[in-house]
């Protein structure tokens, strides 16, 4: 069986939904599962809804109305007749969401985030499922929360593989096209959890692993895995074939085309991953599989924006030793900071990280009790795999370099 994943860009409007159907008709959909993200920028819009719920309740309904309006326009373009059943189905989902806000008693931002954010995926898959049925592509809508079980680490949940394996095999219908939501799961109490931002690729890999899929295809608005993000770098080059190892390295450093956790379950069962264009579905794209090397070995550029660089030094010029480093990492773990680069010397320690959970101020206060602390917000972290001196020089041009670290294959540069 095959697993396809369609991201938000592929279903950003009615034409995108129609194109998904076209892709399925061109490449075939027998014994197939499709994993779908929220439509367009819906996740961002839902994050604004959540922000208003906590910080500005007067704007909550207005933010919700924008999400409703966006989806209603897509419904009208796809179905026309407002008496079609899909309008009631979508209305029901919004009613369910509104009721959550009325009855919720939890002050935990991360819990509320996960209960709300997934409605983007529930809406997109419901609409697409109805549209596919409308044009004669019969399908089985699958609630991913009844399949993927996780712990209660909201916004970055960990999968319970044994339970998930059984549930996926129980709920997957081999006789028909299956459609489910990316990014989501549920915990032991059946509260919704999420697998981390951009986690729909990971969802596809989880299903592929549990169903022993013959391959996973991620459909993107680019021709495949490129050596650089074309939004930030000119003359990006397509990488036709890369190994699992190289793909994992690129994903680890932040290559946006593949979610960092996606490759691990696929590698364990040697399930190939294909990255292809939904605009040109019959083009070759990129294949990621066992034993294939990066050809040609050209520099690969990755950038992460809006990072934080923290530099620590001892208050009395004593050494930063194992005990200090252990304490620093305990605090980073406690405040849920994702570390991207570390560098230390005898009396200093620097770390570049992501402030995903907005705990930076609390972390800094804790650190200031024992260290001299300097920090820079909104820095950019550039990584070059298979770097050359010319590539480094071109990258550093007109930038202030705050930190630089080289290994045999990789250079990482933090700039302001």
- Summarize the annotated binding site as residue ranges: 231
Sign of CA dihedral 173, 21, 261, 336: negative
Residue 374: Cβ within 10 Å count? 12
CA 391 – CA 387 distance, rounded (Å): 6
Q: Sort 124 into a burial class: Cβ within 10 Å, 0-12 / 13-18 / 19+.
A: buried
Q: To the nearest 10°, the Cα dihedral for 175, 147, 84, 102?
A: 170
* CA-based nearest residue to 414, from 260, 302, 281: 302
Helices 119-134 and 42-55, axial angle in degrees (round to 10): 140
Q: Name beta bridge partners: 241.
A: 287
Q: Is 197 helix (H, G, I), strand (E, B) or coil?
A: coil
The annotated binding site for ATP is made up of: 231
Closest Cα to residue 250, out of 326, 303, 327, 179?
303
CA–CA distance, 364 with 117 (Å, rounded to integer): 29
- Report helix angle 360-368 to 322-334, nearest 10: 150
The H-assigned helical ranges of 56-199 are 60-79, 85-103, 109-117, 119-134, 161-171
Q: How far apart are CA 199 and CA 185, in angstroms?
A: 11
Q: How far apart are CA 387 and CA 389, in angstroms?
A: 7
Cα–Cα distance between 23 and 26 in angstroms, integer? 5
User: Which residues have CB under 8 Å from 93's CB, separation 6+?
Assistant: 119, 122, 123, 126
Backbone angle region of 62, left / alpha / beta, with phi > 0 → left and psi within -120 to 50 → alpha: alpha
């Amino acid at each position: 069986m095959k697993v396809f994943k369609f991201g938000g860009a592929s279903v950003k409007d009615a034409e995108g939904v129609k194109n998904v159907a076209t892709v399925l008709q061109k490449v075939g959909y027998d014994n197939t599962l499709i994993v779908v993200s929220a439509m367009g920028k819906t996740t961002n819009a839902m994050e604004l809804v959540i922000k208003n719920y906590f910080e500005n309740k007067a704007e909550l309904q207005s933010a919700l109305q924008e999400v409703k309006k966006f989806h209603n326009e897509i419904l009208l373009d796809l179905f026309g007749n407002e008496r079609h059943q899909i309008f009631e189905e979508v209305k029901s989902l919004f009613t369910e969401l509104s009721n959550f806000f009325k009855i919720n008693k939890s002050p935990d931002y991360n819990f509320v985030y996960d209960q709300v954010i997934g409605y983007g995926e529930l809406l997109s898959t419901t609409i697409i499922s109805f549209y596919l049925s409308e044009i004669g592509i019969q399908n089985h809508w699958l609630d991913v929360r009844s399949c993927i079980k996780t712990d209660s680490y909201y916004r970055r949940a960990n999968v319970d593989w044994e339970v998930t394996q059984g549930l996926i095999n129980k709920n997957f219908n081999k006789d028909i096209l299956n459609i489910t939501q990316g990014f989501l799961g549920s915990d032991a109490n059946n509260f919704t959890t999420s697998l981390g931002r951009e986690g729909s690729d990971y969802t596809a890999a989880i299903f592929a692993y549990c169903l022993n899929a013959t391959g996973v295809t991620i459909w993107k608005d680019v021709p495949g895995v490129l050596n650089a993000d074309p939004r930030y770098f000119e003359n990006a080059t397509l990488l036709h074939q890369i190994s699992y190892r190289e793909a994992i390295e690129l994903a680890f450093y932040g290559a946006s085309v593949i979610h960092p956790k996606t490759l691990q379950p696929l590698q364990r069962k040697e399930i190939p991953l294909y990255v292809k264009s939904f605009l040109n579905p019959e083009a070759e794209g990129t294949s990621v599989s066992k034993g294939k090397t990066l050809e040609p070995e050209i520099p690969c550029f990755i950038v992460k924006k809006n990072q934080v660089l923290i530099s620590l030094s001892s208050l009395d010029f004593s050494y930063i030793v194992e005990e200090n480093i252990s304490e620093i990492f305990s605090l980073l773990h406690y405040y849920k900071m994702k570390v991207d680069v570390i560098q230390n010397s005898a009396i200093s320690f620097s770390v570049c990280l992501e402030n995903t959970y907005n705990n930076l101020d609390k972390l800094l206060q804790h650190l200031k009790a024992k260290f001299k602390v300097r920090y820079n917000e909104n820095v950019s972290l550039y990584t070059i795999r298979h770097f050359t001196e010319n590539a480094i020089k071109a990258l550093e041009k007109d930038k202030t370099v705050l930190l630089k670290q080289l290994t045999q294959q990789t250079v990482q540069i933090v700039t302001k």
